[in-house]
Amino acid sequence: MKKIQMVDLKGQYSSIKKVVDSSIQEVIDNASFINGPKVKEFQESLEAYLGVKHVIPCANGTDALQIAMMGLGLKPGDEVITADFTFAATVEVIALLGLTPVLVDVDSDKFNIDVEAIKRAITPKTKAIVPVHLFGQCANMESIMELANDHDLFVIEDNAQAIGASYYYNDGRKSKAGTIGHVASTSFFPSKNLGCYGDGGAIFTNDDKLAHRIRGIVNHGMYKRYHHDVVGVNSRLDSIQAAVLDAKLPKLDQYNKARQSAARKYNAAFTNHPNIIIPKAGNGCKTICDNCDCHVFHQYTIKIQGADRDALVTHLQEKGIPCGVYYPIPLHKQKAYMDDRYNDADFKVTNTLINQVISLPMHTELEDDQINFITSTVIGFLNKG
Ligand SMILES: *Cc1c(COP(=O)(O)O)cnc(C)c1O
């Protein structure tokens, strides 16, 4: 058995070395390192793949979120509602822009923002909602968009973990994650479902005016050379990263299928075990999601109940199985984001999840013997009590 890794980027590279290398070489040969043709090519390929009018590449997923909020013209004092159970980048940019983050609880099945909790958090100052499509599947976008329409709010999808997934509406229609809200952000961090070999990110929108504003913001607020109409930033996807992404994008569906296949094997081994709750997938697709793209498993995250999660983590590490706890501390308890407005009792689900969740190795190169070893080690530990 090959050594098990949380993410196997080296193994993945070895199978696409030729296309990636020649794509990178092209950039070097042309010395078109900044805003070269590869960036434009990738942008257009991604627009076509997602079925979205505008993709604006930028330097990373955190910038993408910040720039989306700047593009919407959000102002200090505006309240922005987001999930308590997510990576800090989401709340960080809200705070950095002088906006007021309003953290709310998530649902215990899918780990995504709880729509009822959003409803309770809306005030006259609320201007936007940032649903995070956590671990590879969309938040409840149909209800969130309805709520946003009713209250005249912007919806910014944090799609760093669900690129390539689809959201299924209750009537059976579907849309790619990141194309439903007013604007969306994504990250091409190496370990994401579509990752480059450094930092990268992008903003998506179907709104022409917003896209125009954002294209200026990423380039120092410049719409005409040396005319700075708004305060902008410098946030570029460099051409070498675009070359990697352009070579990998045609593989994205295949990669997501490989993740789903690994998830199905995990599920088959874990289903019905009294100490394990397997991840719940599905929105309006209403199938058992065997042949569906509603979940692209950025992480394969189970909940452990009636057993010691932390002891399991230690045991797996001793057996050479990497794993992760995403996320170990709720954002409302982080020093940087604590606030007297929060009542700990309002975060019942997040407070429970942080003690239950464990994410197992998930990547495109997992082999059956590795999965069998992982599942039998987890089950062996739990059955020993
Ligand atoms: C990775 C991630 C980000 C940030 O992306 P970077 O490219 O690392 O800046 C933001 N939000 C979520 C949910 C993420 O997982």
Token pair of 6, please? 């949380």
CA distance 94 to 205: 19
| Model pLDDT for residues 142-200, shown as the tens digit of each residue | 999 999 999 999 999 999 999 999 999 998 899 999 999 999 999 999 999 999 999 99
pLDDT given at position 385: 75
Please indicate, yes or no, whether residues 85 and 128 belong to a single structural domain of this protein.
Answer: yes
Quote the ligand 1 centre to 379 CA distance (angstroms).
32
pLDDT tier at 284 (50, 70, 90 boundaries)?
A: confident
Between vectors from CA 186 to CA 165 and to CA 164, what angle results, nearest 5°? 15
Q: What is the mean pLDDT of residues 215-239?
A: 96
**CATH number of the CATH domain containing 187:** 3.40.640.10
Please indicate, yes or no, whether residues 115 and 69 belong to a single structural domain of this protein.
Answer: yes
End-to-end CA distance of the chain: 27
**Residue of 7, 60, 67, 87 to test ligand 1 pocket, by largest number of atoms within 8 Å of CB:** 87
pLDDT given at position 289: 60
pLDDT given at position 26: 96
Domain closes at, from 223, 250, 277: 250
Please indicate, yes or no, whether residues 229 and 267 belong to a single structural domain of this protein.
Answer: no
Domain closes at, from 216, 250, 284: 250
59 lines ligand 1 (CB under 6 A): no
pLDDT given at position 292: 83
Quote the ligand 1 centre to 91 CA distance (angstroms).
11
| Model pLDDT for residues 241-272, shown as the tens digit of each residue | 999 999 999 999 999 999 999 999 999 999 99
Between vectors from CA 62 to CA 349 and to CA 95, what angle results, nearest 5°? 65
Residue 329: which of 350, 302, 306, 308 has the closest Cα? 350
Biggest alpha carbon distance in the chain? 69
Token pair of 118, please? 């959003």
Please indicate, yes or no, whether residues 278 and 190 belong to a single structural domain of this protein.
Answer: no
Answer yes or no: is 58 within a domain.
Answer: yes
**CATH number of the CATH domain containing 337:** 3.90.1150.10
The residue to which tokens 């995403």 are assigned:
326
Please indicate, yes or no, whether residues 246 and 305 belong to a single structural domain of this protein.
Answer: no
Between vectors from CA 161 to CA 19 and to CA 97, what angle results, nearest 5°? 115
187 lines ligand 1 (CB under 6 A): yes
Answer yes or no: is 4 within a domain.
Answer: no
186 lines ligand 1 (CB under 6 A): no
Q: Is 162 exposed, middle or buried (0-12, 13-18, 19+ CB in 10 A)?
A: buried
Please indicate, yes or no, whether residues 319 and 345 belong to a single structural domain of this protein.
Answer: yes
Please indicate, yes or no, whether residues 231 and 109 belong to a single structural domain of this protein.
Answer: yes
SS3 of residue 5 by DSSP: coil
Q: Phi and psi for 155 in degrees, rounded to 5?
A: -120, 120
60 lines ligand 1 (CB under 6 A): yes
Answer yes or no: is 1 within a domain.
Answer: no
pLDDT given at position 286: 66
pLDDT given at position 368: 98
- According to DSSP, the residues that pair with 168 across neighbouring strands are 174
Answer yes or no: is 258 within a domain.
Answer: yes
Token pair of 291, please? 């042949």
Answer yes or no: is 104 within a domain.
Answer: yes
The CB-side HSE value for 218 (13 A sphere, CA atoms) comes to: 27
Quote the ligand 1 centre to 61 CA distance (angstroms).
5
pLDDT given at position 142: 97
Please indicate, yes or no, whether residues 72 and 85 belong to a single structural domain of this protein.
Answer: yes
Answer yes or no: is 2 within a domain.
Answer: no
The model carries a pTM of 0.97
Residue 232: count other Cβ atoms within 10 Å of its Cβ.
Answer: 20
CA distance 73 to 27: 35
CA distance 73 to 210: 10
CA distance 341 to 300: 33
Which residue, by CA, sits nearest to atom 14 of ligand 1? 160
Please indicate, yes or no, whether residues 264 and 239 belong to a single structural domain of this protein.
Answer: no
The answer to whether 303 and 274 have CB atoms below 8 angstroms apart is no
pLDDT given at position 2: 94
160 lines ligand 1 (CB under 6 A): yes
Q: What is the mean pLDDT of residues 93-106?
A: 98
Quote the ligand 1 centre to 171 CA distance (angstroms).
31
How many domains are there within the chain? 2
Answer yes or no: is 125 within a domain.
Answer: yes
Structural domain including 353 reads 252-384
Which residue, by CA, sits nearest to atom 7 of ligand 1? 61
Token pair of 107, please? 């649902």
The residue to which tokens 């997938």 are assigned:
281
Please indicate, yes or no, whether residues 21 and 106 belong to a single structural domain of this protein.
Answer: yes
Quote the ligand 1 centre to 89 CA distance (angstroms).
6
Q: Tell me which long-range contacts 250-255 makes (C-beta under 8 A, separation of at least 24).
A: 251/16, 252/49, 252/163, 252/164, 252/193, 252/194, 253/164, 253/293, 255/12, 255/164, 255/193, 255/194, 255/364
Please indicate, yes or no, whether residues 210 and 263 belong to a single structural domain of this protein.
Answer: no
Answer yes or no: is 73 within a domain.
Answer: yes
| Model pLDDT for residues 206-226, shown as the tens digit of each residue | 999 999 999 999 999 999 999
Average pLDDT, the chain: 96
299 lines ligand 1 (CB under 6 A): no
| Model pLDDT for residues 332-378, shown as the tens digit of each residue | 999 999 999 999 999 999 999 999 999 999 999 999 999 999 999 99
The amino acid that residue 176 corresponds to is K
Please indicate, yes or no, whether residues 205 and 341 belong to a single structural domain of this protein.
Answer: no
CA dihedral 206, 210, 215, 220 (to 10 degrees): -160
pLDDT given at position 172: 82
**Residue of 85, 106, 133, 189 to test ligand 1 pocket, by largest number of atoms within 8 Å of CB:** 189
Domain closes at, from 194, 222, 250: 250
CA distance 188 to 60: 7
| Model pLDDT for residues 132-147, shown as the tens digit of each residue | 999 999 999 999 999 9
Residue 218: count other Cβ atoms within 10 Å of its Cβ.
Answer: 24
